[in-house]
Amino acid sequence: MEKFTKKQQIKELKEGDLVNDIFVVKIKKSIAEYSKGYFFTLILSDSSGGSIEYKYWGDSEQDKVQAIYNLITADSVVWVKGKVSSYQGKLQIGNSDPNNLRVLNQDEYECDFIAGPKKDVEEMYTTLIGKIDSVKNDDLKKLLLDIFNSLGDKFTQHPGAIQIHHNWRGGLLQHTLEVIDYCETSVKLFPELDRDLLISGALLHDIGKLEELETTSRIKGTRKGQFIGHLTLGIIHVADKLKDSSLDDLLKEKLLHLIVSHHGELEYGSPKKPMFAEAVVLYFADQLSSRASEIIEFIKENKDATEDDSMYHRRHSTNIFLR
């Protein structure tokens, strides 16, 4: 069976277009009555970043409409045939034929609804392997290779966050390399730093994100991630690998400390504050990469959405200047 693929981006649809394509269901609204029977509304999205309202105008057989409705959940991928019209100044897709709406299984379509990487993934991965290779302590290097080799593509394809910064395929890898760059600058400025330890910590600090985030038709938090958090999931992952490692105890503990303290403060979710120089550097390097990226993406996303010069940013709790 041929798989469905994506052809039309929502952002390019206009009145009168005929739609025959696949979308992600972003929001599913409740079913209701109208003059000819029952209807429901979906908000559809795709990786273009746009979204469009979809109306299913069913007939008076409530059970049948309800049956279709029940198949759909938020995050469903649907194939949709219909026509784009304009209502109250906004575009919408309308349809009344049950054959023109279908919920797809994951093996029925071939499409990535997650935004693609911003830098070349292979190049980034080569850089990352080079960083591992530059670690002088052989036991440490072995541990890192062991961890990253067993991850395969998983690490390189993973996003770094759900929203705003590094929320694209390869985002985790890109963020990790940015943190490493700030660490390298630190090693250059402060030769007292243990480069092996610092680079290893930078490589591993967000490894728990592999289990905290999942990418189906969108990036979302896992149940495990909500319950335990990427910081602790990373600890479990690395502690397990350390069991068979011949690294000396102090180094093992310092490595775990780098992960456990990388949010810097208890109120940011680190059960321990940084207790040596490498941990302090890793905390601020992580901040620099994520905060700088966050503001830059925020400005990009919002500067065309408003005529105002600035917009309030909740997490930073200040207005951000957009010009």
Residue ranges in 278-307 that form contacts with a second copy under rule CB under 8 A: 280-281, 284-285, 287-289, 291-293, 295-296, 299-300, 307
The angle subtended at Cα 266 by Cα 220 and Cα 250, nearest 5°, is 100
As measured in angstroms, the least distance from the Cβ of 24 to a second copy is: 16
Q: What backbone torsions phi and psi does residue 28 show, to the nearest 5 degrees?
A: -120, 120
Region binding a second copy by CB under 8 A among candidate stretches 45-53, 56-64, 144-152, 265-273: 265-273
Handedness of CA 259, 261, 262, 267 (dihedral sign): positive
Residue 55 β-bridge partners: 41, 94
**Cβ(168)–Cβ(114) below 8 Å:** yes
Cα distances (Å, whole numbers) of residue 77 to 46, 92, 217, 272:
10, 18, 7, 42
Number of chain positions touching a second copy (CB under 8 A): 80
From first CA to last CA, the distance across the chain in angstroms is: 50
Give the binding range for a second copy (CB under 8 A) out of 24-32, 46-54, 108-116, 155-163: 24-32
Count of residues for the chain? 323
**Mask for 26-55, x = binds a second copy (CB under 8 A):** ----xxxxx---------------------
> Considering the rule CB under 8 A, would residue 312 count as an interface residue with a second copy?
no
Distance CA 189, CA 280 (A): 14
Of the pair 88, 99, the CB lying nearest a second copy is at 88
- Confirm or reject binding of residue 257 to a second copy (CB under 8 A): yes
Least Å distance, CB 5 to a second copy, is 29
Report d(CA 46, CA 8) in Å as an integer.
9
Q: Which is nearer to a second copy, 21 or 212 (CB)?
A: 212
Find the binding residues for a second copy in span 111-130 (CB under 8 A).
none
46: helix, strand or coil? coil
Report the run of H or E that residue 319 belongs to, with start and end: strand 318-321
CA distance 11 to 46: 9
Using CB under 8 A as the binding rule, whether residue 267 contacts a second copy is answered as: yes
Give strand ranges (E) for the chain: 4-5, 18-28, 32-34, 37-45, 51-57, 77-87, 90-95, 101-104, 109-110, 213-215, 219-221, 310-313, 318-321
**Shortest gap between Cβ of 137 and a second copy (angstroms)?**
17
Residue 322: CB minimum distance to a second copy, A: 8
Residue among 1, 2, 14, 90 that touches a second copy (CB under 8 A): 90
Under the criterion CB under 8 A, does residue 72 sit at the interface with a second copy?
no
- In angstroms, the CA 79 to CA 105 distance is 11
List 167, 213, 260, 262, residue binding a second copy (CB under 8 A): 260
Among 102, 277, 302, 303, binds a second copy (CB under 8 A): 277
Nearest approach in angstroms of CB 2 to a second copy is 32
User: Which residue has 């080799």 as its token pair?
Assistant: 149
Per the CB < 8 A criterion, the answer to whether 140 and 252 are in contact is: no
Q: Does 274 bind a second copy (CB under 8 A)?
A: yes
User: Binders of a second copy among 178-197, rule CB under 8 A?
Assistant: 178, 181-182, 184-186, 188-190, 192-193
Q: Establish if 8 lies at the interface with a second copy (CB under 8 A).
A: no
Minimal distance in Å, beta carbon 28 to a second copy?
A: 8
